[in-house]
Chain A
Amino acid sequence: GAVVSQHPSWVICKSGTSVKIECRSLDFQATTMFWYRQFPKQSLMLMATSNEGSKATYEQGVEKDKFLINHASLTLSTLTVTSAHPEDSSFYICSATRGSTDTQYFGPGTRLTVL
């Protein structure tokens, strides 16, 4: 149990376009989902915390108008990278949890390459 999927697993886009990444909890309801970004050979950096039905909480330095997060249901959160640029190229990973006392279950990640 506690499986999290992401779609797509990789995406290549042109500079200036927008890309949507989906994070789904397949066999449980996720009250909270987290979005992380990981550059090559670096650690995971939390971008935002998303609770179902409410606005996401962004970490300092993360532009909320550039990284749009929607958590419309207890099994789906989406991250949209708007007007993507090459510096947004990274590995984006989501995690989901059933509640504050539960562990975080990570998705497989989405590799974004912006040309």
Chain B
Amino acid sequence: GENVEQHPSTLSVQEGDSAVIKCTYSDSASNYFPWYKQELGKRPQLIIDIRSNVGEKKDQRIAVTLNKTAKHFSLHITETQPEDSAVYFCAASMGAAGNKLTFGGGTRVLVKP
């Protein structure tokens, strides 16, 4: 089955700096890659996603890049703010968004004021 590795496990940045989280996946059949933000005790919230026919997608301060050849994708957060502090998960899915997701191990991001 699919295996998703996520790095780093923790990330501390100064407010205003950028944060980058990287994920690799094992199954070349995966073609949908969402990113979730989860605050303590809350549900995961979809923040951005990318499909395999696109190399990059941006939404305000958040961007995701995908390299299908290398089987890795990354989340970029620019101009970080304290409210960006949370745990971020990448995931991969085969077929489509509504198919089962395999999650990475998570990255705990702390934005220091």
Residues of A with Cβ closer than 8 Å to B? 31-32, 34, 42-46, 49, 60, 91, 93, 97-104, 106-109, 111
Q: In the complex the two chains form, is B49's CB within 8 Å of A43's CB?
A: no
| A109 CA / B40 CA spacing, docked (Å) | 11
Beyond A31-B98, A44-B89, A109-B42, 20 extra complex contacts between A and B, CB < 8 Å: A32-B98, A34-B101, A43-B106, A44-B44, A44-B101, A46-B100, A91-B41, A93-B43, A93-B44, A97-B98, A98-B98, A99-B98, A101-B96, A101-B97, A104-B46, A106-B44, A106-B45, A107-B43, A109-B43, A111-B41
Residue of B34, B44, B45 most packed against chain A (CB within 10 A): B44
Grouping DSSP codes into helix (H, G, I), strand (E, B) and loop, the A interface class, with mixed when no group exceeds half, is loop
Chain B interface size band reads 20 to 34
- If A97-B98, A102-B98, A104-B98 touch, whether A44 touches B103 (CB-CB below 8 Å) is yes
Q: In the complex the two chains form, is A43's CB within 8 Å of B97's CB?
A: no
Q: Within 8 Å CB of A32, what residues of B?
A: 98
Q: Within 8 Å CB of B101, what residues of A?
A: 34, 44, 46, 104
Q: In the complex the two chains form, is A106's CB within 8 Å of B43's CB?
A: yes
Residue of A nearest to B95 (CB): A100
Q: Within 8 Å CB of B102, what residues of A?
A: 46
CB distance from A55 to the nearest CB of B (A): 16
CB distance from A28 to the nearest CB of B (A): 12
CB distance from B32 to the nearest CB of A (A): 9
CB distance from B70 to the nearest CB of A (A): 22
| A109 CA / B105 CA spacing, docked (Å) | 18
